[in-house]
Chains A and B, each alone.
Chain A
């Protein structure tokens, strides 16, 4: 039995199909990321798996339970941080842990859990005086009280500063090292790349790509390409005089040459040199997860590269 098995899951709010027939499974000990823009259906999906929402169709098994019908039993075995975790204002993280332990009727050492989520220093500060990162860590601490094998983290780092995000990542890595299965939603792609073994990219209620981040980039990315700053005439010249795949982006005055082999770059540059025309900065680059994400979740972009891109490799040279 896998920790999570979802098939044909559907949920609509009125006419809006929030989740439209998605299927996936999560393996034991895996960190599985649900990515997607706001409104893609990530939170609805995760809340259905947590047993907080009823589904309209499809099958969902979480640790073998139907999360809606057997929510009460399931909740004893999972840990959850909802989006924008909040707690009673005048309660400290330490008291919150004891409160949860009493509710779950388990014996825990609160200081151990506080240490695990790097929250020892703020153990006795009221929740309303904690920083955003400390609040999220309190949520993490509470999700660990019942020693769950499966954790759901819904946007655990949204709105946090870079340091606080990295601290949360540390905690999540520690949990993964202990063999916990973790479902994580995020719209930070670097977070997914840092933490997730596999991701599913959601858009408009569908899963548009799934796999490791490398697999997704390979399947949906454009591969490595050479970019030469130059004009359309040069692009025409390269097209005519090489067998390379050449595209011209008039807005950026950039010539894109797909590199099937590294050696293609030499052929392209030799031809450019031969043309005797002016050309400027060159670089080689590859689609990042960001590029693929933007391609997959929005309307097809006519002018490639208009989305914010992350430079992977770049040999800059000026002539």
Chain B
């Protein structure tokens, strides 16, 4: 007979002990926030300041009037954008050597006769330098592309004396949106990360230690049942997960302006997730002989999920065989579900993830309770 009063009694003692242990609290709440701050700063840093772009203007004229110096106008417009600051490089420099000498990758070269060709309606080519692995190159090419389109439209408007406003107007916002997507994705990923690590590591440790020190035997001599014991741990990790969730979303939104949706669809993940990994942790601690083996097995189970289940990197950026592998990791359904609910607003996908997660949780829970022994025979 499961007693709510006993669960509450055990919950009180366990949560108080947890809060008194600075170490557990750090890994439960502070660490995921630190991760958000670090990863957010690394990948979303570009959106908070302007990117420097080195520009070499080979179109030196002479021009009959300043209005005809389209190249300078183009660079000035770029400089006025919210994402780019133009730094001029002398036309006599060897441009690619200049970039590498200054350890920078973002640059633009305006060819000679740019203005003349533009005004004559001839094709002109602007070379944009950039390092594809750098987060800034996306901003640069996006912004330059956007302004180039603007100039193209402007040309046609002027040429055909079309007085209607441009049908399509392009702003650098396109680049910004793409950039903030990483932090949007990072928040559900790291929430998944903390849903996995806190209960999992803690329960592997507790259940193997309690077995070794005979604390389980001690507890078996009280009316507390193993089901009640596990239930109180699960409730605690649900509470901790919700607290962590609020903290991480708060930091993500306030510090990095993340766009995530807070919907009731998140609730099943915040409940099922901690239940699943608490039960899985207890299962590992139960079936292993001693705390050392339990730690090793725990890591073998946890680490692939920590990195491959869509926590730090989107699954879609991984090779196909790893994407297939990710589908056997229980955490995958947590992070995918959180992404579906928070970022993509894909409710039918969310429901499927909840269903899969529910089945996995039930199976692991039953296994853990069945195999977990208070007493020995």
- A-to-B contact residues, CB < 8 Å: 47, 50-54, 71-72, 75-76, 78, 80, 82-91, 95-96, 99-100, 102-105, 126
Contact = CB atoms under 8 A, between A and B. Distances in A.
B377 interface: yes
Contact of B223 (A86, A90, A104, A126): A104
18 contacts: A47-B217, A75-B220, A75-B221, A75-B223, A82-B218, A85-B218, A88-B13, A88-B215, A90-B16, A90-B17, A90-B21, A91-B16, A102-B5, A102-B9, A103-B9, A103-B223, A103-B224, A104-B222
Contacts of A76: 223
A95 B20 CA distance: 13
Contact of A51 (B10, B222, B375): B375
B14 interface: yes
A52 B224 CA distance: 15
Given A53-B375, A54-B377, A99-B9, A90 B218 contact: no
A264 B215 CA distance: 58
A91 B218 CA distance: 15
Contacts of A82: 214, 217-218
A103 B6 contact: yes
Given A88-B17, A103-B9, A83 B223 contact: no
A89 B12 CA distance: 14
Contacts of B224: 103
B221 A50 contact: yes
A99 B215 CA distance: 14
B93 interface: no
Interface in B1-33: 5-6, 9-10, 12-14, 16-18, 20-21
B376 interface: yes
Interface of B: 5-6, 9-10, 12-14, 16-18, 20-21, 213-215, 217-218, 220-224, 375-377
Given A47-B376, A76-B223, 19 more contacts: A50-B221, A52-B217, A52-B220, A52-B375, A54-B375, A71-B375, A82-B214, A82-B218, A84-B214, A86-B218, A90-B21, A91-B17, A95-B16, A99-B10, A102-B5, A102-B9, A103-B6, A103-B224, A104-B223
A78 to B, nearest CB: 8
A57 to B, nearest CB: 14
B11 to A, nearest CB: 11
> Which of A51, A52, A71, A80 has the most C-beta atoms of chain B within 10 angstroms of its own C-beta?
A52
Nearest to B19: A90
A126 B218 contact: no
B221 A90 contact: no
A73 to B, nearest CB: 10
A95 B14 CA distance: 11
B10 to A, nearest CB: 8
Contacts of B215: 86-88
Contacts of A103: 6, 9-10, 222-224
Ranked nearest first, the 3 interchain pairs of A and B with the lowest CB-CB distance are: A90-B17, A90-B20, A102-B9
B250 to A, nearest CB: 28
Contact of A86 (B10, B20, B213): B213
Nearest to A145: B222
Given A54-B377, A80-B221, A126 B214 contact: no
Given A53-B375, A54-B377, A71-B375, A91 B223 contact: no
Given A80-B221, A104-B222, A88 B6 contact: no
Contact of A88 (B14, B217, B221, B223): B14
A36 B20 CA distance: 41
A102 B5 CA distance: 8
B214 A86 contact: yes
B13 to A, nearest CB: 5
A95 B10 CA distance: 11
A100 B218 contact: no
Nearest to B9: A102
